[in-house]
Structure 1
Amino acid sequence: MAVSTTKPARQHPGEASARKHAWLGSALSFGGAPIGNLYESVDDASATATIAHAWQRGIRHFDTAPYYGYGLSETRLGDALHDMPRESFTLSTKVGRLIEDDAQQDSHADGFIVDGHRARFDYSRDGVLRSFDASLQRLRTDHIEVLLLHDIGELTHGANHPAILRQALDEALPAMAELRAQGACKAIGIGVNEEAVCVEVMPRFALDVIMLAGRYTLFEQAQSRQVMAQAQARGVAILAAGPYNSGLLGNANGPGKFYNYAPADAATVARAQRFYDVLAFTHTDVGAAALQFPLAHPAVASVVCGLRSIAEVDQAAARLQATVPAAAWRALHDAGLLQEGVSMP
């Protein structure tokens, strides 16, 4: 899991945890939403070069979903990785939506700059199997390592959440467990942006993994305390996605303007600025601290970072290996910017 192919890298937080899971390729994972044209278009050649460069830099786990560009992200990953030895990388994708042709779909309402397709929720057994089959075709493989049930929870489904949860427990997750038993995947779980549904599902269905986006990050930990504790107790691996909270802490020179996939309000930006102010005293890159922080938690197996370009791959690889002094973590704690009792690198 070195971040360079030319010299050995020092062990970083999360490396031992990543090695513990046979289905996981590296402690830093490639998030595939940006190459699905999230918010802006990426051409095929640039996407292919970015994926290949990530592999060359030692990133060995690649995460995607049918929803990301309505199949575009999966297709690009499948094409770019097809000539790599299959045992040299691991894949995760998701079920819960079916991608359909729709000549009228050109509003880009979901944020993906892709015309002619739409995504429809389907958590039925048949929907899961159809989605998985289509994903394997796009990814050009006969198996994946991690299969996640995508976007269940009240945050996404509102008043329909109880019915969706029942269907997830009665149909979707059992179908995924069958795929795991058949060897079509090695681990199953859920991929969500909220804590509540994780806490609801874990006691009722045995999960291997949870991808939790944006809730256990340097910027916030309050809305993940229960899920992190229960995951650790139950041996459920956490894939910590969205480490920059939609770019809020990803910039080198100051806070970004987005949080939770939407424009950040003034109070959120002001709090983010405090991280930059505090870490400036220890000459610490905020992005490096944000990328490394989740990996210190014993339940976290990998941090999933959305990557759009070769430059972003290089930046993430460098940040993972950057030295963040102990004084930086103490300063953040003393400033009240980290929750009491959180694991620090």
Structure 2
Amino acid sequence: METKKLGKTNLDLTKIGFGASGFGNLYREISTRQSCAALDKIWDVGCRYFDVAPHYGAGLAERRLGLSLHKYNRDDYILSTKVGRILHPRHEQGVQMPNDFPNEAPFNRHYDYSYSGVMRSFEDSCQRLGTNRIDILLMHDIGSYTHGDQHNKQFKIAMDGGYKAMDELRSQGLVTAIGIGCNEHDVLKEAMPHTDFDCFMLAGRYTLLNQTADDGFLDECAKKNISIILAGVFNSGILASGPKVGSYYDYAPASDEIIAKVQRIYQVCEKHNVDPIAAAIQFPFRHKAITSVMLNAMKEHHLESNLKGITATIPQEFWNEIDTLTHL
């Protein structure tokens, strides 16, 4: 699979990365056997970049990803995980987030962007993943989207403490690249003047449906050689499921306005005989700041469809017409 250099580092990321949130039972429970089979399938098509986080299944996804990758040579793939949440053994009945991660691991999450919190999170992740190094370490979910009126407080802790820890880990060679992974780009713009990050993982903000990050931010990243790893290309599913009632956008039921926008996109796809899934996967690469696109399909037919979308041929006429659809 085609690769691209990550920022100023020596890491080469495959065009498509695999997001292992599903390994933590995101929205539906799967078995460890299923997670291993999914990874083998994505490996067989050439994907060599895998992303996870302690948040996914309260550590379950990291454990399963480490197990799935154990048989492969550690030098043959790129691994990223995230810091910002510490896991503590849960003594209450049930699990912390049963609706998002059914039958997740029995741990409670606590935000901790401090120096010591990031160091502990890094070490804990290495143990769960069964590795002595992390290629890309991302600060997870800072910003108002997650923290609301606590953003300023958490951001200061992250910049004063957490970033220092990440920079030290990079200097020591325990981490090759550092960055931020979140659902909003305003906080990335806020962090850029104070940091020397290599990359950002941004979910759902430069897609067929939502191009809010294309406000000069992506151009600035390209200028500074900060790579963008794009997640959420289907905007919580609606670009894959189509313009129908009950579809989700940005983790919530889609509004009539969003459904209408997706309808317009689907009409252009039909006109040019383009698979909407392929268009959604390939769209982000039209900007030079985008290094890799993350996919996280777990069901076999979804995975097959995603993999076909990577190599599908899309005519320039289609992109030209998509560009005329303003204010998507």
Shorter-chain TM band: over 0.9
1:57 counterpart (45, 54, 60): 45
Corresponding position of 1:257: 247
**Distance of 1:62 and 1:280 partners within structure 2:** 33
Paired residue secondary structure (1:238): strand
**Distance of 1:167 and 1:110 partners within structure 2:** 30
Q: Greater relative contact order (Cα 8 A, min sep 6): structure 1 or 2?
A: 1
Paired residue secondary structure (1:247): helix
- Per-residue CA deviations over 1:78-114 (Å, capped at 9, x if unaligned) read 0010110111111000000011221324363661112
Structure 1-normalised TM-score? 0.89
**Distance of 2:319 and 2:71 partners within structure 1:** 42
Paired residue secondary structure (1:191): strand
Corresponding position of 2:202: 212
Q: Is the 1:30–1:305 Cα contact (8 Å) retained in structure 2? A: yes
Q: In the alignment, is residue 148 of structure 1 matched against residue 143 of structure 2?
A: no
**Distance of 2:119 and 2:222 partners within structure 1:** 30
**In the TM superposition, what is the alpha-carbon distance from 1:122 to its structure 2 partner?**
0.6
Count of aligned pairs between the two proteins: 325
**Distance of 2:99 and 2:219 partners within structure 1:** 32
1:23 counterpart (1, 11, 20): 11
Corresponding position of 1:48: 36
Change (3 A) 1:31 1:300: same
RMSD: 1.9
Unaligned runs of 5+ in 2: none
Q: Is the 1:46–1:309 Cα contact (8 Å) retained in structure 2? A: no
**Distance of 1:300 and 1:134 partners within structure 2:** 30
Corresponding position of 2:20: 32
2:222 counterpart (232, 237, 260): 232
**Distance of 1:217 and 1:51 partners within structure 2:** 25
Unaligned runs of 5+ in 1: 3-14, 339-345
- Per-residue CA deviations over 1:110-149 (Å, capped at 9, x if unaligned) read 6111252221101111111111101001111111110000
2:191 counterpart (201, 207, 217): 201
Structure 2-normalised TM-score? 0.94
Matches within 5 A, 1:1-345: 1=1, 15-17=3-5, 22-104=10-92, 105-106=94-95, 108=97, 111-113=100-102, 114=104, 116-251=106-241, 254=243, 257-336=247-326
Could you tell me which amino acid in structure 2 is paired with residue 231 of structure 1?
C
**Distance of 1:195 and 1:302 partners within structure 2:** 17
